[in-house]
Amino acid sequence: MIELAVREGIRLSDESITDSPLAVRGLTVSYGQKPAVFSVDMTVQPGAMTAIIGPNGAGKSTLLKAALGIVKPLSGQVTVFGRPLEEQRARIAYVPQRASVDWDFPTRVIDVVLMGLYRELGLLGRLSARHKARALDSLARVGMHDFANRQIGQLSGGQQQRVFLARALAQEADLYLLDEPFAGVDAATEKAIISVLKSLKKAGRTVVVVHHDLATVTDYFDHVFLINTRRVAEGPVAEAFTADHLQAAYGGRLATAQVDQLARVLG
Amino acid sequence: MLRDALLLQLGYNATLVAVGATLLGISAGVTGTFLFLRKRALVSDAISHATLPGICLAFLLMVALGGDGRSLPGLLAGSALSAWIGLLCLNWLTRNTRLAEDAAIGAVLSVFFGFGIVLLTVIQTLGAGRQAGLEGFLLGSTAGMLWADALVIALGGAATLALILLIRRPMTLVAFDPEYAAARGVPVHRVDLAMMGLVMAVTVVGLKIVGLILIVALLIIPPVTARFWTERSDRVVLLSGLTGGLAGYLGAAISASAPNLPTGPIIVLVAFAFFALSLLVAPGRGVLAALLRHFRFQRRVHLRQGLLALAQGQPIFEQLTLRLLRRADLVRADGVATDAGRARAAKALRDETRWQIVRADQTHEAAAALYDGLRDIETVLTRDQIAEIDSRIGGPQEVPA
Amino acid sequence: MSGSEFVPLSLTPMLIGILAAVACALPGNFLVLRRQALIGDAISHVVLPGIVVAFLLTGVIAAWPMMLGAAGAAVVAVILIEAIRRLGRIEPGAAMGVVFTTMFAAGVLLLEQTDTSTVHLDVEHALYGNLESLIWLDATGWASLLDPVALAGLPVELSRILVTLVAVVGFIWLFWRPLKLSTFDEGFARTLGIRTNLLGLALVIVAAVAAVAAFDAVGSIIVIAMFICPPAAARMMTNTLEGQVGWSVIFAILSAVLGYVLAGYGPMWLGARDAVSAAGMIATISGLILALAARFGPCRTRSGAPVQV
């Protein structure tokens, strides 16, 4: 066990890793010659709702994608519930950015949600009524039950986002990773998504969200992870989401309006 | 023999073909650059394949009118017409249906070509021997070319080139930034059509020399080759024209120097040789340079991360990091830091703290934008600025700067 | 027309045409959706150098070495395209254009340099095949379908394309879910542990195998047409992937049957004596089907995008 850990490059001294739903150590990812994420450590707290925040181009989405093995890091390790990522794929659900797929793809809403079950179904496993019911139930949880047979291109942006969330819900995972789920969605969708995420938290699941709206951080989340290529701060919202840390993460890039808004939120 | 060919000593026709191929290569290289920069390189494939039915119909029409159907200008006019229709179909499909451009290109290409083949077989059945080598347009055939035909090609090449020179400015604008061009009052749609018209002209001129299947190579390979050598658009255009012209000239000469060396394929292979060479050795964008840069970059990242880990007393498990640290005498074989290692580590950590302050401070915004985790802070800030930052950090000041 | 004429002369070419069309149209559905439609174009061009090299190595015109050579060339081309695209940071279309034209040029040059006067190997054949020649001489009528002696004389191309079609169907059936998912949402597919790169390569190889087997019988131009036109037309008919694949098969069969019949009998109806190229006609018909679907298909416009008049 110890040998394995050493070989995998896991730091044994770090107790928190062994039970953290998602632990990242020394992660560096680079597109070309500029690191998007440099030497980042992150330890996600179990059962918490964590927001990853930072300015545009700070490496938020890249961090998530590297943690999921979608992009290949230059260096660093990722463990999921204390084990290598590959062993734990079944416990992770991922909600990609809406813009990352072709919404003209010939498929219906229910088919997209059923894609969340593909790992469970295997190559040829039979799709039973039970699976369908699970997919429909997931759709109902995001308020999209009536759209099950629509073509996905006919949905509004917010509806598309909710379908993606329903797909993740159908996976019945322990760790949910969402990439900018609130970007460009209507207020009703934002409310629907956050209530689903809060119910996940209540059920003891861990939720990590790449987030861009500083004004809602304190309302929505209990932990934050501030990043600007490097980790800036990490911890409970009350401790880590401070004006100092924000200044450190955003530097001059925080608009005056945002600063005012934050001043009100943070008191 | 090759020397004679290169010096244009192989007779009138061979010389005209070489001149024609050179002009064609230059025109294709320059036209292709705009196409390539517009990311529509393979549109030329659809255009060139779409010439076939036009060639056949022109032949049939000329025969029906009592001619022998072999007049090159007539055939070329037919090819231009059907290529234009193919282009219109392509544009209609991408604009009015959900098809992406690649599918539309493939559809136009295969259907027009298939229809052309049907017409070719019709011509064959009209009477043996009368198809007069229309198959020659598939792969080009310069052997036994008439002097008048060679002249048409040379003149066509020159005319195309003149046309390019005339409208190169608006084309450059549109290729780089269509929206800006539109704002400047450039008729983008019409320039696009003109660009396609030039592609068509190049294709038609090239039919007899390289054939319709391979003409796309002359439109694609030179611009891609030129792109390796420069980041500036006007130079890409120049280099591409140069590469294309050189490939045309060398290819025609080599082909004339010995039997069984078909002109079209030889020109393409010469162009590819230029490409392969550029792909490997071009500075900046070449593969060797990129590999070298990547390894150097990876080493920098690992070294830096290793130093930061040393400074914070964290153990290092990445083998590459350890090896690099050892090789630089920063750690001993057992993984413990040497004096030099400790000093460098402290400096690295200090720099990180300094960077943190720089990045949080609005007055240093320009410097903060340069942060990549690797850059030495001395390269972006003056000694005074660093001293000022250090005073804000507090603590020991004697860390070597 | 009587069975005694149809069965020996037209049944097998028509069947081969249908099987080839379907074998290409099936992977074509995914290629079109993945914006890789022109991979089919590239593959069908590099088949020529593949068979020429196979001929040079073995010295004979035999089906298996040539098919292996063609498949090998297709794989080499795909790898080269990928390598040039990544190493040179060149957009995929241009990388494809560089590779397939160069390989095709090399094939033509090799062919010119080789003494092929004793064998039937030329560019025209490679381009538009000779579907009409794949006749079943042992057949005397419909009854021959039950006659083992006559069945043994079926053209070997028929069994080859049949085996290929079975393999293609098998691949798509087995990997339906990962193919669908990774085509729609590659990032998500990776989080499920699907090796999307490997799957993409497998798809291209299957397409190459289909192209090579079809090429052997019907020439390469029909291959490109069948990769793209039936799936593209099917795209205009439905909004589900299952439906699209179904429509593409129908369109492929329709193109093959109509194209073959029109090529063989159309000229006679018009009073001419000789038939025209069946491969060319099949490609033309598939284009007409696409045109009709693009004009009248119920799902022809991009969803969400404004309809331009």
Mean pLDDT of A202-224: 92
Contact A21, A46 (CB under 8 A): yes
pLDDT at B400: 47
Non-local (6+) Cβ contacts of C180 within 8 A are A107, A115, C241
pLDDT in tens, C3-53: 677 777 888 889 999 999 999 999 999 999 998 888 888 888 888 888 889
Nearest to A105 among C177, C184, C238 (CB): C184
In chain B, where the domains are located: 2-280, 288-393
Task: Name the residue among A38, A93, A113 with its Cα closest to residue A209.
Answer: A93
Quick check: B378 contacting A, CB < 8 Å?
Answer: no
> Does the CB of B95 have a partner CB in chain A at under 8 Å?
no
Helix, strand or coil for residue A158? helix
The 10s digit of each residue's pLDDT in A67-112 is 998 998 888 889 999 889 988 999 999 999 988 888 889 999 999 9
Q: Chain A contact for C169, CB < 8 A?
A: no
**Interchain proximity A39–B305, CB inside 8 Å:** yes
- Residue C234 near residue C264, CB atoms below 8 Å: no
Å from B149 to nearest chain C CA?
23
Rounded to 5 degrees, what are φ and ψ at A210? -80, 120
Whole-number pLDDT of residue C76: 92
- Is there a contact between A30 and B352 if contact means CB atoms under 8 Å apart? no
pLDDT at residue B323, as a whole number: 86
pLDDT digits (tens, 9 = 90+) for A100-121: 888 889 999 999 999 999 988 8
Give contacts of B 104-143 with C, CB under 8 A: 104-107, 109-122, 125, 135, 138-139
Which residues of chain A are within 8 Å of residue B314 when distances are taken between CB atoms? 11
Contact of C304 with chain A, judged by CB distance below 8 Å, is answered with yes
Q: Tell me whether B167 touches chain A (CB under 8 Å).
A: no
pLDDT of residue B304: 85
- Does a structural domain hold residue C276? no
User: Which domains does chain A show, CATH number per domain?
Assistant: 2-266 (3.40.50.300)
The structure's pTM equals 0.86
Residue C253 lies in a domain: no
Q: Specify whether the CB–CB gap between B121 and C277 falls below 8 A.
A: yes
- CATH number of the domain where residue C172 is located: 1.10.3470.10
Residue C106 belongs to some domain of the structure: yes
Chain C residues touching residue A108 (CB < 8 angstroms): 239-240
Residue C10 in contact with partner chain A when CB distance is under 8 A: no
> Quick check: B315 and A39 CB within 8 A?
no
Phi, psi of C277 (to 5 degrees): -60, 120
Q: Give me the sign of the Cα torsion angle B345, B351, B357, B359.
A: negative
Give the per-residue pLDDT at A7.
38
pLDDT at A191: 92
In three-state secondary structure terms, B68 is coil
Alpha helices by DSSP H, listed for B228-262, are 233-257
Question: How sure is the predictor about A258, in pLDDT bands with cuts at 50, 70 and 90?
Answer: low
| β-bridge mates for residue A43, sequence order | A23
Which chain B residue has the Cα nearest residue C40?
B106
Task: Decide if A266 contacts A241 (C-beta within 8 A).
Answer: yes
Question: How high is the pLDDT of residue A250?
Answer: 81
User: If pLDDT is split at 50, 70 and 90, which confidence band does A262 have?
Assistant: low
Which of B183, B188, B191 minimizes the C-alpha distance to B163? Answer: B191
Interchain CB distance below 8 Å, C302 and A153:
yes
The letter for the amino acid at C66 is: M
Q: Are A210 and A60 in contact (CB under 8 A)?
A: yes
By residue range, what is the domain housing residue C165? 3-216
- Within a domain: C244: no
Q: Is A70–C244 a contact, with Cβ atoms under 8 angstroms apart?
A: no
- Report the residue from B297, B302, B317 with minimal CB separation from A9: B317
- Which of A17-26, A165-174, C138-147 holds the top average pLDDT? A165-174
pLDDT band at C308 (very low <50, low <70, confident <90, very high): very low
| Paired strand residues for A27 | A40
In a domain, C290, yes or no: no
Give CA–CA dist C225/C227, Å, rounded. 6
> How confident is the prediction for chain C on average, in pLDDT?
86
Higher pLDDT, C114 or B237: B237
Contact of B44 with B104, CB cutoff 8 Å: no
The helix, strand and coil proportions of chain A, stated in percent and rounded to the nearest 5, come to 45, 25, 30
B287·C88 Cβ contact <8 A: yes
pLDDT of B63: 86
Residue of A158 and C5 predicted with greater confidence: A158
Helix axes B233-257, B263-281, angle to 10 degrees: 140
Q: Average pLDDT of each block of 10 consecutive residues along chain B (401 residues)? A: 68 79 90 88 91 92 82 89 94 90 93 92 71 74 72 81 84 82 85 87 86 90 93 87 94 86 91 95 86 86 85 79 85 82 85 79 73 76 82 60 42
Q: What is the mean pLDDT of chain A?
A: 86
| Cα–Cα dist B279/C76, whole Å | 18
Whether residue C217 has pLDDT greater than 70: yes
CA-only gyration radius of chain A, Å = 19
Considering CB atoms only, which of A33, A229, A247 is closest to B371? A229
Q: Could you tell me what percent of chain C has a pLDDT over 90?
A: 43
Number of domains chain C is built from:
1
Copy the structure tokens of residue A139. Answer: 């759709």
Decide if pLDDT at A136 tops 50: yes
pLDDT at residue number A9: 41
Residue C281 lies in a domain: no
Put simply, whether C185 touches A (Cβ < 8 Å) is: yes
Quick check: B366 contacting A, CB < 8 Å?
no
Task: Assess contact for C227 and C40: CB atoms under 8 A.
Answer: yes
Pairing of strands A49-53, A223-228: parallel
Distance (Å) from the C-alpha of residue C285 to the closest C-alpha of chain A?
25
Rounded average pLDDT over C276-297: 93
Q: B2-280 is classed in which CATH architecture?
A: Orthogonal Bundle (1.10)
Q: What is the pLDDT of residue A267?
A: 55
Q: What's the mean pLDDT in C212-226? A: 83
- Taking CB atoms and an 8 Å limit, are B275 and C98 in contact across chains? yes
pLDDT of A261: 64
The answer to whether the Cβ–Cβ distance between B42 and C272 falls below 8 Å is no
CA B356/CA B374 separation, integer angstroms: 13
